[in-house]
């Protein structure tokens, strides 16, 4: 089955700097890649997603890139702010099968 690896497990950045989180997936049939943000004590919230027919997608300060050849996708957060501090999860899905999640990255933005 699908396997998703996520790196790094923790990431600290200075406020205003950029943060990058990377994920690799094993099954080339995966065609949907969402990213979730989880704040302390809350459920994961979808922040951006990308489908396999697109190479990059942006939404204000966040962007996701997908490299199907290398089977990896990345989350980019620019101009980080303290409220970006959270745990971020990547995931991959084949068709309508369940999402397979990475183990998460704890991002700390230092003011």
Partner 1 sequence: NAGVTQTPKFRVLKTGQSMTLLCAQDMNHEYMYWYRQDPGMGLRLIHYSVGEGTTAKGEVPDGYNVSRLKKQNFLLGLESAAPSQTSVYFCASRAWAHEQYFGPGTRLTVT
State the residues that interact with partner 1 by CB under 8 A: 34, 36, 41-46, 49, 89, 96, 98-99, 101-104
Q: Which is nearer to partner 1, 43 or 111 (CB)?
A: 43
- Least distance between partner 1 and beta carbon 50 (Å): 11
Cα 28 to chain centroid distance, Å, stands at 18
Q: How many Å is the Cα radius of gyration of the chain?
A: 13
Q: What is the 3-state secondary structure (H, E, C) of 64-90?
A: EEEECCCCEEEEEECCCCHHHCEEEEE
Q: Which is nearer to partner 1, 42 or 69 (CB)?
A: 42
- Least distance between partner 1 and beta carbon 95 (Å): 9
Q: Which is nearer to partner 1, 18 or 45 (CB)?
A: 45
- Least distance between partner 1 and beta carbon 67 (Å): 22
Angle at the Cα of 22 from the Cα atoms of 20 and 26, rounded to 5 degrees:
170
């Amino acid at each position: 089955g699908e396997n998703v690896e996520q790196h790094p497990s923790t990431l600290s950045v200075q406020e205003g700097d950029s943060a990058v989180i990377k994920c690799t997936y094993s099954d080339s049939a995966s065609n949907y890649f969402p990213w979730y943000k989880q704040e302390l004590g809350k459920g994961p919230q979808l922040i951006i997603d990308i489908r396999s027919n697109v190479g990059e997608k942006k939404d204000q300060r966040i962007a996701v890139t997908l490299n199907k050849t290398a089977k990896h996708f990345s989350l980019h957060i620019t101009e980080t702010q303290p409220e970006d501090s959270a745990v971020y999860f990547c995931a991959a899905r084949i068709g309508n099968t369940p999402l397979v999640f990475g183990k998460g990255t704890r991002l700390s933005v230092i003011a």
